[in-house]
Chain A
């Protein structure tokens, strides 16, 4: 989840020559060796294998048939893929907008040092420590058409006509999932914003006040610009998490009803492991989709690095 631009710790400059420097260098290699070994076996190699498998046709038996770009050709003409891609992008956009705006608002309110601030902060963050499975199962019950709390609440306040089978209707399923995502994610992004707000010099607000700026103007012309870097981080995390999204949707709808909530993650997982449906696993095609997810995340990260660099040049 970190998006820190990695920078080399340059302590003491170049490695010193001679006995001591050499033994320190040797220790360095030995200290990182176990990490590099596990990384190679469980991250780097699987990733490279993914790249290769995306160029093959394979059901898991025998050896993969190399087919070049055939999987990607098929993707272009696969309507399910395009629907899943669209759903992923829409879901990501909605989550990013909500999960940036709401946490910012909460952080600004909580940064005023009001009474009970700690209580609000603690309560709003709690959903972030709950697993996706628990979150998904819990909200399935909340959205239950007959006995769910949401429909009961709507009936209770006289809006019974709005009650729906939220997760079973192709038009409401995606907004319902976005709400679940917001419920879980708001607390974390709120804390990131709070940390950012605490880094703003109060003198800036004092100066704006003396110049007669209203509360909204102070927010618009002091808070928002000063939080630009933090906002870039929050947006990137949101976008990448949106592209990667899998667990909550898999748990709550499995991509349904009628694929209305099918995202790239659930589609590719189903192709590879959903053999309960009687289909032969298509590892090649599924990994091709996973490469699309990877490229989306890579693009988002590159854009972020670029924006950050620009922001740094301006200041």
Chain B
């Protein structure tokens, strides 16, 4: 970066052309990234008779499709279900992951390494390899078809990675803090909750955002473990809507747009944490 600026004064034309090509490529790829989403937004406010054919921008706008999604697809209900499932999952995951992550970073106990590696092996386990026995297990426990079972599965399968992220964050905090608090006579849980957890809040925020997105977007478990349509969160509802209303593009686009709104808002506001959550696991190797 710095070298680039130093040389800015004497730039041969060859470099200029390379730069032009670079910009062009970035513009094309950005356009390809944004276009489907922009098209979705525009189609959602198109009058129905102008969907097939007509220019990119419609001559008039209507919110009919949103109104229809709101009433016909019972959107508010499924939106609330998704929100409740997601919030409970996030709270559960963060509570368990901060406890375990702290223990792996700052407490010594026999078998720690073994337990840690075993938990972490979840990360490479394909979901399709456990979806069948999970289905049977929930059935045996009488939790199949209910949201409680789904939330428990979400927490159980998500905690290992969140625990890994939290351990990384807790490890950046000096161990001397724990020792000093011990000398002062604080109990182990108090040290965790009052001394260390507040310092790890930025890390916990990353886990919250990452987990919020994953649970909000989850499809396979929700589709498999829930059966009654009234209980479904958004992703399976959207999937079913595509099957039923495959030609009603404004309705579909309005539903899709509303379903991603919370995620996009969180992304725009907290981009840095979002990005940290998604890349940390990969870069930390």
Contact = CB atoms under 8 A, between A and B. Distances in A.
Contacts of A205: 3
A166 interface: no
A49 B133 contact: yes
A308 to B, nearest CB: 7
A31 B192 contact: yes
A229 B112 contact: no
Nearest to B167: A9
Interface residues of A, number: 115
A34 B156 CA distance: 10
B279 A39 contact: no
Contact of A229 (B102, B118, B164, B285): B285
A220 B220 CA distance: 41
Nearest to B171: A9
Contacts of A139: 36
Interface in B79-125: 96-97, 99-100, 102-110, 112-113, 115-120, 122-125
Interface stretch (A65-73, A74-82, A184-192): A184-192
A213 interface: no
Contact of A298 (B53, B105, B124): B124
Nearest to A294: B129
Nearest to A216: B18
B104 to A, nearest CB: 7
Contact of A290 (B39, B40, B126): B126
Given A31-B102, A124-B33, A129 B96 contact: no
Contacts of B122: 39, 43
B249 interface: yes
Contacts of B129: 47, 50, 287, 290-291, 293-294
A274 to B, nearest CB: 11
Contact of B220 (A11, A39, A243, A247): A247
Interface string B223-259: 0100000000001101100100000010011001001
A258 interface: no
Nearest to B236: A133
Nearest to B14: A215
A29 to B, nearest CB: 6
Given A29-B109, A124-B29, A137-B238, A1 B171 contact: no
Interface residues of B, number: 112
A132 B285 CA distance: 27
Interface in A267-287: 268-269, 272-273, 283, 286-287
B160 interface: yes
Interface string B255-284: 010011001100100010011001111111
B26 interface: yes
A138 B40 contact: yes
B10 interface: no
Nearest to B159: A35
B107 A244 contact: no
A196 B23 CA distance: 21
B238 A301 contact: no
A169 interface: no
A161 interface: no
Contact of B152 (A4, A42, A294): A42
A50 B102 CA distance: 32
Interface in B106-158: 106-110, 112-113, 115-120, 122-137, 152-153, 155-157
Interface stretch (A91-99, A112-120, A170-178): A112-120
Nearest to A232: B285
B285 A5 contact: yes
B282 A110 contact: no
A290 B131 CA distance: 9
Interface stretch (B58-66, B70-78, B211-219): B211-219
Interface string B24-38: 011101101111110
Contacts of B53: 147
Interface in A209-235: 209, 215, 229-230, 233-234
A154 interface: no
Nearest to B283: A195
A34 to B, nearest CB: 5
B100 A133 contact: no
Nearest to B43: A141
Given A3-B282, A50-B132, A188-B278, A112 B29 contact: no
Given A126-B33, A246-B220, 5 more contacts: A46-B133, A120-B27, A202-B2, A272-B135, A308-B285
21 contacts: A24-B182, A26-B188, A31-B103, A35-B100, A39-B119, A39-B122, A41-B137, A105-B25, A114-B19, A120-B29, A129-B274, A133-B217, A133-B236, A137-B238, A141-B249, A141-B252, A186-B29, A195-B283, A273-B224, A287-B132, A301-B124
- Which 10 pairs from chain A and chain B are nearest by CB? A42-B156, A2-B281, A27-B188, A131-B217, A28-B109, A28-B107, A31-B103, A46-B133, A38-B156, A15-B108
Interface of B: 1-5, 15, 18-19, 22-23, 25-27, 29-30, 32-37, 39-40, 43, 51-53, 96-97, 99-100, 102-110, 112-113, 115-120, 122-137, 152-153, 155-157, 159-161, 163-164, 167, 171, 175, 182, 188-189, 192, 213, 216-217, 219-220, 224, 235-236, 238-239, 242, 249, 252-253, 256, 259-260, 263-264, 267, 271, 274-275, 278-285
